[in-house]
Amino acid sequence: MGERMRDRVCLVIGAGSSGPGWGNGKAAAALYAREGGKVFCVDLRAEAAEETVEIIRGEGGEATAHAADVSKPDQVEALVKRAKEVYGRVDVLHNNVGILDTRGPVELPVEDWDRVMDINLKSFFLTCKHVLPIMEAQGKGAIVNISSVAGIRYTGVPYITYYTSKGAIIPFTRGIALQYAPKGIRANAILPGLMNTPMIVEPLKGHYGEGSVDKMIEARDAQCPMGHMGDAWDVANAALFLASDDAKYITGTELIVDGGLSAKFS
């Protein structure tokens, strides 16, 4: 067990996994706990949050599960209130939720545009709205928002809502960082590239692999300069760095975790 999150309360939004294995939020929650953090694990599905908590407790860590739809203002207000009641403070806010819809602007119904924006973007606003006053009262806090390289470049899949919502997280994070810098609160964004996590399996197998998960993974691996996708631990390690005092003079920036993908020409 490490010490970088010792005595700190980490509120992880999207701490479960959408399928078997390790998603970004699940890995981040586990890593915060391994570094001594007390982790309040939030997920839409109670069983997903509870699975993460069981892993953390099984490793000797401390965690609490909470089910919530973070696109709903009342549920976000309630979860933040409970986290404060359980642990007394919030030192780290880790926003990880996000969904995919692989349709372009013509094919996409208006209500589905709204749904993705509510989950991928409004949820970040809502959690910050309720956590920032707690951090301000403490005089310290760190926010880690998970964006994507899809927020800065086209990745070959026509998911207009994903590009837009993930792109918006970047100035959103920067705005919070600069407004709250004098108050001891830092905010940074992580931009994962092509990652091999449970989230990609069902939404993307038809776009890459003609319905074959193995072909999809092979095609995505080939796109990466390093010859393979990253994994959830690559994102979790970046999050731990930004949330910890190792990054105490870093705020308002974007950390790209993509194996060089966004640096290449084609």
Report pLDDT for 200: 66
Catalytic residue among 32, 162, 163, 208: 162
List per-residue pLDDT tens for the chain, 266 residues long: 789 999 999 999 999 987 788 999 999 999 999 999 999 999 999 999 999 999 999 999 999 999 999 999 999 999 999 999 999 999 999 999 999 898 999 999 999 999 999 999 999 999 999 999 999 999 999 999 999 999 999 988 889 999 999 999 999 999 999 999 999 999 999 999 998 887 666 555 555 656 677 888 888 888 888 999 999 999 999 999 999 999 999 999 999 999 999 998 66
Q: How far apart, in whole angstroms, are the C-alpha atoms of residue 31 and residue 53?
A: 12
Q: Cα-Cα-Cα-Cα dihedral of 223, 229, 234, 239, to 10°?
A: 50
With tokens 């997903």, the residue in question is 48
Report pLDDT for 216: 82
Q: What is the pTM of this model?
A: 0.94
Judge contact between 190 and 146, C-beta under 8 A.
Answer: yes
Report pLDDT for 266: 63
DSSP 3-state of 239: helix
Q: How far apart are the first and last CA of the chain?
A: 41
C-alpha dist (Å) from residue 122 to 46, 73, 175: 21, 9, 15
87 is catalytic: no
Superfamily of domain 9-202+232-257: NAD(P)-binding Rossmann-like Domain (3.40.50.720)
Report pLDDT for 253: 98
Tell me the two tokens of residue 104.
């372009």
Cα angle, residue 65 at apex, residues 126 and 173 outer, rounded to 5°: 30
Tell me the two tokens of residue 139.
């005089």
Q: How far apart, in whole angstroms, are the C-alpha atoms of residue 42 and residue 29?
A: 10
